[in-house]
Amino acid sequence: MKITLDTPLELIQRLSPFQKKALAKMHLKSVGDILRHFPTRYGESGLIKAIEYLIPGENTVVFGKISKLKTGKTYRSKVAISTAEVEDSTGKIKIIWFSQPYIAKMFFDGMLVRIEGKVSQKRTKTSTEAEGELYFSNPKIEKVSEIPEGGSGFLFPAETDHNLTPVYPESRGISSNWIYHFMQKILGNEIMDSLTDPVPEEILKKYNLPSLKTALIWIHCPRKKENAEIARKRFAFEEIFFIQLDRQKEKFIAQREKSFAIIKNEKEIKEFTDSFPFPLTLAQQDSIASVLSDFKTGHPMSRLLEGDVGSGKTAVAATAAFAAVSTLPPERKYGNLQVAYMAPTEILAEQHFESFIEYFSKYKIPIGLITGSVAKKFPSKTLRLRSGQATWTKISKPQLLKWVANGEIPILIGTHSLIQKTVKFKNLSFIIIDEQHRFGVRQRMELRKKPARMNDVSRSGGHDIAPHLLSMTATPIPRTLALTIFGDLDLSLLDELPPGRQMPETKIVLPHEREETYEKVRTELKTGRQAFVICPRINDPDPDKENAINAKSVISETKRLQEKIFPEFKIGAITGKLKPSEKEAIMKEFSARGGSASGGKNKIDILVATSVVEVGVNVPNATVMIIENAERFGLAQLHQLRGRILRSSYKPYCFVFADLPRRSSGEGGSKTIARLKSFVNAKNGFELAEADLQQRGSGDLAGAKQWGVSDLAMEALKNIKMVEAARLEARLLVEKDLELKKYPLLARHLSSKSTVHME
């Protein structure tokens, strides 16, 4: 049979339903998929050995028959243990597992198993070192249906020196070893000679990167470590290069589009910002200046404003919005230019609506709010505050949309509802997207395209006018990552917090310090402050599941805190499972100001939550945060969480509880400690983001999940030179040949992978 990249795996080799399921889980369906299923590392545990040849201290795989399975407890510390023996045709070896009593229940004497782990050696007082008995301690164990060819003997010579057996990501039912053997079949097939390389040859040459075929062979069965490394480099380059091409193309096209030129002089802008109750930080001034200079060009701005929580992005957004709405369109026929400001949640949209009312208080500029549940307009024609100040009113959606469509409402703030077909603008000139990381790359791209059609084109003379775009994010990301995934955007950083803000005191709390920590929290709460308690889970796991993750849950922690720790305070709970309206109600209660009106009492003193509070909710009175099971959160997420208590001039406290392995010997343990230490020490989000990137090991899937970038590319992002090279080549290519006519392979590859929907 002639196989192609599209050939399904089950046509290469018969697969059991179980194996098919496992492969599907890893997204491995075709030959092409599995060729790009790269090893995470080589050697060490990849080497299968006969038991006779085991050497203490080595990571090894043995196959054999298991027997003498028993459970028990260690003599002194009463830790549950399982013990067993495994035997192949050359010998036997003992195994011991600590704290994994279920192993003895999952396996039975006589089963064939694969054991992977480090060979240890018992030390006895009398014997010399060489004589101590060998055993495996806490190895991985897996049931197998057969002992692989040579697995119990001599086809895998113990003295081999090119110990570069690939170790693949596995899944239950498909072991690394299985993939290895499957891969050998494909690599030996003639398909390897008909592969076409999407990366232009001259680029590969320029950077000394191997061709696709060579790289595939080198990454799956390298002869030398350097081969594997250069192959990985090629694939990392390729991935970044493709992303860059995609973004550079976007950027290039956007630059050719037309936008309303918004030309404002410094004096006009200063008048607006002088009405703020605070002076702008230098970083805010710089960002505003960049926006204003982009605005002038007549081509759409595409700018990303990156700044820690509390760095004052809203003020920048408001100033930019002011510049737009105080500008008349060229024909002067249809009223002022319009601005759309989109937030990921209703709570945030409401908050921006209120902030904008304040920022624009001196100007009689109408502002609208539209979310899934409500439409509001400022100022109300009839309602006034007791102070005589203008305020907002609820209005019907059709009414609001009418005013937006005829240009009477120049600023519209909202959630996704903003981009529905029914929302039409007359002169939409500028779009602001808050917390843009929450929208995902695909959504972001769509958003950008859509609004060009949101103007009421028929009336504005039939021209498509692309709006300017300001994306904002409180997730500081490393420079290389920003250059890659946001390669189509220009970057402004707010790397400075407004003066007077106090850095939170962050402390890693040891288990025996829990009580005294609660006392400190009590002291803060007594002065009227509020606290967050963040737990990784919503509910407790099923206690019958032996593998269940032992982490604090919102439900039981709320109960425990209320009953046992803080009976005198009011405790609320919020999780991502609640309906948006329920979440909102709770957040409103939590943020209801205590103050004199309520006798200084808060409606909720402690809010127990999952990470749903992550996104920029503003509760200046909340100054304490407890994070439970901090080991389960990524650095960026921890930073976001801590940002919630940075809102006021009161001293904030962040207490970090983490479940650390008793001995920090394990790789996981020391990694966690390093991570938490940088969390305690980092001065700002940007520092933390760089630390995060440097600390990521391969196999850390956070990158893939969060940014849609593979682990391999994440590794490459540690290397600014590679990112810049990929960016440069992508730009040159796009400038030369936007449609990639001379690179049909590349064009096809891009369109199949593209994250952008062609409408």
> Which residues contribute to the site for ligand ADP (CB under 6 A)?
278, 280-281, 284, 307, 309-315, 474, 498, 616, 618
Taking the complex as a whole, the smallest distance from the CB of residue 106 to Mg ion amounts, in Å, to 49
H or E element in which residue 309 lies: none
The stretches of 70-200 forming alpha helices (DSSP H) are: 103-106, 176-187
Q: For the chain, give percent helix, strand, coil, nearest 5.
A: 40, 20, 40
Residue number of the CB closest to ligand ADP reads: 312
Buried (b) or exposed (e) across 287-307, using 16+ Cβ within 10 A?
bbebbbebbeeebbbbbbbbb
Cα-flanking dihedrals φ and ψ of residue 216, to 5°? -65, -45
- Of the CA atoms within 13 Å of residue 267, those in its CB half-sphere come to 0
Taking the complex as a whole, the smallest distance from the CB of residue 468 to ligand ADP amounts, in Å, to 19
**Encoded tokens for 274:** 């002088």
Site membership for Mg ion, residue 344 (CB under 5 A): no
Taking the complex as a whole, the smallest distance from the CB of residue 318 to ligand ADP amounts, in Å, to 9
- Of the CA atoms within 13 Å of residue 296, those in its CB half-sphere come to 9
Taking the complex as a whole, the smallest distance from the CB of residue 273 to ligand ADP amounts, in Å, to 9
According to DSSP, the β-strands at 367-370 and 80-88 are: unpaired
Residue number of the CB closest to Mg ion reads: 616
Which residue, 198 or 616, has its beta carbon nearer to Mg ion? 616
Q: How many residues interact with Mg ion (rule CB under 5 A)?
A: 1
Nearest to 475, CA basis, from 247, 242, 244, 702: 702
Which residue, 595 or 699, has its beta carbon nearer to ligand ADP? 595
Which residue, 441 or 615, has its beta carbon nearer to Mg ion? 615
Taking the complex as a whole, the smallest distance from the CB of residue 314 to Mg ion amounts, in Å, to 5
Binding mask 604-623 for Mg ion (x = CB under 5 A): ------------x-------
Taking the complex as a whole, the smallest distance from the CB of residue 595 to ligand ADP amounts, in Å, to 16
Which residue, 232 or 313, has its beta carbon nearer to ligand ADP? 313
Binds 9: which of Mg ion, ligand ADP, none (CB < 5-8 Å by kind): none
Q: How far apart are CA 382 and CA 416, in angstroms?
A: 29
Nearest to 471, CA basis, from 494, 485, 489, 446: 489
Binds 400: which of Mg ion, ligand ADP, none (CB < 5-8 Å by kind): none
Binds 280: which of ligand ADP, Mg ion, none (CB < 5-8 Å by kind): ligand ADP
Taking the complex as a whole, the smallest distance from the CB of residue 257 to ligand ADP amounts, in Å, to 28
Binds 414: which of ligand ADP, Mg ion, none (CB < 5-8 Å by kind): none
Binds 311: which of Mg ion, ligand ADP, none (CB < 5-8 Å by kind): ligand ADP
Taking the complex as a whole, the smallest distance from the CB of residue 683 to Mg ion amounts, in Å, to 20
**DSSP conformational letter for 352:** H
H or E element in which residue 501 lies: none
Q: How far apart are CA 689 and CA 607, in angstroms?
A: 27
Which residue, 310 or 504, has its beta carbon nearer to ligand ADP? 310
Which residue, 474 or 654, has its beta carbon nearer to ligand ADP? 474
Which residue, 423 or 474, has its beta carbon nearer to ligand ADP? 474
Which residue, 315 or 604, has its beta carbon nearer to ligand ADP? 315
**DSSP conformational letter for 393:** E
Binds 619: which of ligand ADP, Mg ion, none (CB < 5-8 Å by kind): none
Which residue, 284 or 338, has its beta carbon nearer to ligand ADP? 284
Taking the complex as a whole, the smallest distance from the CB of residue 573 to ligand ADP amounts, in Å, to 24
Which residue, 254 or 489, has its beta carbon nearer to ligand ADP? 489
Strand order in the sheet with 393-394: 393-394, 375-378, 367-370, 411-414, 338-342, 428-433, 468-473, 302-307, 490-494
Binds 498: which of Mg ion, ligand ADP, none (CB < 5-8 Å by kind): ligand ADP
Residue with tokens 């059991």: 16
Binds 284: which of ligand ADP, Mg ion, none (CB < 5-8 Å by kind): ligand ADP
Which residue, 165 or 621, has its beta carbon nearer to ligand ADP? 621
Q: How far apart are CA 590 and CA 573, in angstroms?
A: 10
Taking the complex as a whole, the smallest distance from the CB of residue 620 to ligand ADP amounts, in Å, to 7
CB 138 within 8 A of CB 94: no
Buried (b) or exposed (e) across 598-611, using 16+ Cβ within 10 A?
eeeebbbbbbbbbb
**Encoded tokens for 715:** 């590794």
